[in-house]
Amino acid sequence: MRHAFRTLMSGIKSLYLHPMRSLLTVLGIFIGVASVIWLMAIGEGISQKAQEQIESLGADNIIVSTIKPPNEALSSASGGRGMQLPEYGLTRADYSRLTETIPTIVNSAPIKDYQETFQNGRWKIDGRLVGCTASYVDVVKITMFEGRFFTDEENSEAQDYCILGAGVAQTLFPYEEPLGKLIRVGDNYYYRVIGIADSRAPSAAIGSSLKSEDYSYDVYIPLQTMQTRVGDTVVVRRSGSMEGETVQLKQITLKVGNVSDVMQTSELIKLTLDKYHNKFEDYGITVPLELLEQAKTTRMMFNVFMGLIAGISLVVGGIGIMNIMLATVTERTREIGIRRALGAKRGDIIRQFLIETIVLSVVGGGLGVLVGLTCSPVTKFAMGILKKTNPDLLASLPPIVQELTPIIVFWSVPLAFMISILIGVVFGVYPAIRAARMDPIEALRHE
């Protein structure tokens, strides 16, 4: 034990004689370990955010959305005559077929939406007007901040009630209570506020069938009210020309009773809709459960990829250790010869040089772990600085990056530290063996 301690102190003393060289060697391992922890934490944060967005759609939900076909397809479907008001997408008949013929569906929520302007006095904001049924609040998991959602009876009676998203409520009613007040929608219609939805994180776009949505700027009204006041056809006049489209439903969210039946139900939905949508592809099916499984696989692959990239830094640090130790062996040739002449064995020489490389690895790995654990606060601080100095640049980044919160992968810390020590040993073995194999007589002659 005493001999091992003396060998350790001798190794530390040798490193202390060349502080700058030792510091630069430690720096390589330090950067490698910190990179492993930081990159995996950032990757985990991004992956976790993506999974949360998919989970918010509901693992037991299936989302069927209207997709506008290319203009060429619409023109071809009309026999080449063209369509001023093309009709496509999901219909109320589709909704009835799906809910009445597929037994695994236990709840459903059809919607129709379009962009509109909302106004209260001098306060005005653009957002999404959503016509839906009372079941929408349960199927899509909307929580109420204040007030209530409308009922099935109020929907069938086409009442002029509305529920405001959090962002709309804050903008239109900055200094007063919204409940019971009237807001103007567009130029002609007024709706009475009966509830305010709780704030909710925006969802990202998924493929071509599900667009990104910011629920904070939604206003919900009964679907029957929208049907009565607006109808299925929306017409826009621009510069003397008329453009429009006829769409009955923009989206149908279907809730399945058992998660194990989701994939089979999605196939039944496709088979049912294909019978009545054979002219062109004007709908898309999104299965959050399938996306969630894909996201988990992608998350694992992403973490492995990030780990490999960061591992390269550790290998570079190990090469630096080998390079420094080889140079050290050359410089200390005479010292090695003297020690061998005084009775030191090859094993003693190997242990001395290995201890030096392990000390460098442990110090570099320990510092790397400490800095790696600061990933989350440093990222938060950097985002704060960017928000103050260049808000436009921050706003141009994807929402998932703007809200990035690195999550330390618990196993990456000991793994990175152990790899740093292993690299120190692996890359230190050759210089140590080379030093031990020196001929003592030739070493003593070295100048």
- Give 393-415 pLDDT, tens digit per residue: 777 776 666 777 788 878 878 88
What is the torsional sign of CA 318, 320, 323, 328? Answer: negative
Percent of the chain whose predicted confidence (pLDDT) is above 90 = 22
141/222 Cα distance (integer angstroms):
17
Report how far apart, in Å, the C-alpha atoms of 53 and of each of 12, 241, 247 are: 52, 40, 27
pLDDT digits (tens, 9 = 90+) for 60-111: 888 899 988 877 666 665 555 444 577 888 999 999 999 999 999 999 999 9
Which ranges of 173-287 does DSSP label H, i.e. alpha helix?
223-229, 262-274
3 state DSSP class of 240:
coil
Model pLDDT, residue 193: 95
Please determine, for residue 3, whether its predicted confidence score (pLDDT) is greater than 60.
Answer: no
Model pLDDT, residue 252: 92
């006095």: which residue's tokens?
121
Domain ranges in the chain are 2-53+294-445, 68-281
346/117 Cα distance (integer angstroms):
84
Pairing of strands 144-147, 161-164: unpaired
What is the torsional sign of CA 104, 107, 112, 114? Answer: negative
Q: Are 162 and 192 in contact (CB under 8 A)?
A: yes
Please determine, for residue 236, whether its predicted confidence score (pLDDT) is greater than 70.
Answer: no
Model pLDDT, residue 364: 84
Mean pLDDT score, 294-321: 71
- Chain-centre distance of CA 334, in angstroms? 58
User: pLDDT band at 208, cuts 50/70/90?
Assistant: very low
Least confident range of 34-38, 42-46, 111-115, 116-120? 42-46
Report how far apart, in Å, the C-alpha atoms of 74 and of each of 52, 250, 274, 278 are: 37, 17, 17, 13
Please determine, for residue 112, whether its predicted confidence score (pLDDT) is greater than 70.
Answer: yes
User: pLDDT band at 54, cuts 50/70/90?
Assistant: low
